[in-house]
Structure 1
Amino acid sequence: MNHHHGHYYPPEDFRRTFERPEEYLPEVFEGKKGVIVDYGCGNGFYARYLLEYATKLYCIDINVIALEEVKKKFNSAITLTSPKEIPHSTVDFVFFANSFHDMDDKQYVVSEVKRILKSDGRVIIIDWRKENTGFGPPLSVRMDEKDYMKWFSDFTVEKRFTPTPYHFGLVLKRKTS
């Protein structure tokens, strides 16, 4: 169990049996590097993979214990912070993995994403499919693409990808006016 709605997340060794970021992140980043925010980083499962694409990696999470774990794992390779400490229009990629559905103040989160993201920046979303997978968050909190696009209405889908049989992936870019 953890702080996310009291539901169970599989341990890292089990997670690696079906979740292999090294296999799908190259397609997502397309060889690009930049400033990345791992928003809702949890215990840092994705941070080790994101470092490959990051000129700077910010890790944000409300769970202080999880952040301590991230700090122990990665030391000075990452920057632990809150979104308000990140300068305006300085981020190339905002990354949400299995996290946005848990965030209480989604409106605030989206407004911070819009503030910190460069005009040509991307939002990368990986989340649980809205179907029973036997583990992961309850169906009642899961979000699909349509749910995400209600929150990220100033963005459009640039790419869809399938990270695992249990998850969907989106790359969003700002709508051009």
Structure 2
Amino acid sequence: MSERRFAPSKMARLDNPERRKALPPEKILTESMLGPSNDVLDLGAGTGYFTVPAAKMTKGTVYALDVEPQMLDFLKNRVQEEQLTNVEFIQGVIEEIPMDNETVDFVIASFVLHEVEPLSKGVDEILRILKPEGRCVCIEWEKKQTEQGPPLGHRINSDDMKAAFLQKGFRDVAVSYPSDAHYIMIAYK
């Protein structure tokens, strides 16, 4: 496992009240214009922080991709408990997403692109699997020291992230800052 990858032993950190207050998934998905019939890919789906709300908001398929089988097993149980029928599980890495070209309308990349090596390969893959006019919502840690989050050396400055999306061919990128520590970016294909 890459030193940048999130350890499954820390999965309780992924879905806690503080995070929900600061970054409410339903609000972020609504403001990012998740459509009622969109097909969605949640990169690094983890415990389903975004997978579950997305599956409740769309009649399309929500693909939950994670490199860790332990995370996918946890999420499968959660999806079953929630009685959701539109979620599919994919084990794989962001640098080589095991999906066909132009499969989804919407990609969620929440606190995961800082783990991708190299970032350019991950952005290429997002562009490849998005349908024309699709969009990616990227939530990341700003490149500044904070009490929580990945090491400073793993973080990607919001200007650099925006440049990475534009350089790879996204037509527009909107950025907002819900806190000093985080940014939300919507990249349009």
TM-score computed with the length of structure 1 as normaliser:
0.82
Structure 2 residues without counterparts, runs of 5 or longer: none
Contact between 1:59 and 1:80, CA under 8 Å: does it hold in 2?
yes
Partner AA of 1:128 in structure 2: W
Q: Which residue is equivalent to 2:54?
A: 50
1:52-71 → structure 2 map (5 Å cutoff): 52-54=56-58, 55-71=60-76
What SS is found at the alignment partner of 2:174? Answer: strand
Matched, 1:12 2:3: no
Q: Which moved more, 1:77-86 or 1:52-61?
A: 77-86
Q: Alpha carbons of 1:85 and 1:149: their partners in 2 closer, same or farther (altered >3 Å)?
A: same
Q: Which residue is equivalent to 1:118?
A: 131
Q: How many residues align?
A: 173
Aligned-partner Cα distance in 2 for 1:85–1:164: 33
Aligned-partner Cα distance in 1 for 2:86–2:139: 23
Q: Alpha carbons of 1:23 and 1:149: their partners in 2 closer, same or farther (altered >3 Å)?
A: closer
Structure 1 residues without counterparts, runs of 5 or longer: none
Q: Alpha carbons of 1:30 and 1:86: their partners in 2 closer, same or farther (altered >3 Å)?
A: closer
Give the root-mean-square deviation of aligned CA atoms. 2.8
Aligned-partner Cα distance in 1 for 2:128–2:34: 24
Q: Which moved more, 1:126-135 or 1:146-155?
A: 146-155
Q: Which moved more, 1:41-50 or 1:23-32?
A: 23-32
Compare relative contact order (CA 8 Å, sep 6+) and give the higher one, 1 or 2. 1
